[in-house]
Amino acid sequence: MPLHKTINFAQCVGSSTQIFVWKITESYSDLFAGVLLNENNLRRLSGMKSELHQRGFLSVRMLLQEAGYSDFDLHYDEFGKPYLKNGKYISITHSHHFSAIIVSDQTVGIDIELQREKIIRIADKFVDEEFSYLDKNNQEEYIKKLTVIWGAKEAIFKIRNEKGISFKDHIKVKAFRLDDKESKAELHFDDIVKNFKLFHEEIEGFGLVYAFE
Ligand X SMILES: CC(C)(COP(=O)(O)OP(=O)(O)OC[C@H]1O[C@@H](n2cnc3c(N)ncnc32)[C@H](O)[C@@H]1OP(=O)(O)O)[C@@H](O)C(=O)NCCC(=O)NCCS
Please pick, from the candidates 5, 75, 81, 194, the single residue that binds ligand X as defined by CB under 6 A.
81
- How near is the Cβ of 11 to ligand X at its closest, in Å? 19
Q: What is the CA radius of gyration of the chain?
A: 17
Angle between helices 39-47 and 51-66 (to 10 degrees): 150
167 binds ligand X (CB under 6 A): yes
125 binds ligand X (CB under 6 A): yes
> Vertex 211, ends 56 and 129: CA angle to 5°?
110
92 binds ligand X (CB under 6 A): yes
Please pick, from the candidates 6, 138, 161, 195, the single residue that binds ligand X as defined by CB under 6 A.
161
Interacting stretch for ligand X, rule CB under 6 A, among 12-20, 134-142, 153-161, 179-187?
A: 153-161
- How near is the Cβ of 137 to ligand X at its closest, in Å? 24
- 17, 23, 26, 32: CA torsion to nearest 10: 30
Nearer to ligand X, 111 or 176 (CB): 111
- 11's CB contacts (< 8 A; 6+ apart) are 17, 104, 106, 197, 212
40 binds ligand X (CB under 6 A): no
- How near is the Cβ of 13 to ligand X at its closest, in Å? 27
| Chain-centre distance for alpha carbon 151 | 7
Query: Facing residues of 209 across strands?
Result: 111, 200
Amino acid letter, residue 50: S
Q: Do the beta carbons of residue 95 and residue 104 sit within 8 Å?
A: no
- How near is the Cβ of 94 to ligand X at its closest, in Å? 4
Nearer to ligand X, 138 or 171 (CB): 171
Which positions lie near ligand X, rule CB under 6 A?
Answer: 57, 60, 79-82, 92-94, 111, 125-126, 154, 157-158, 161, 167
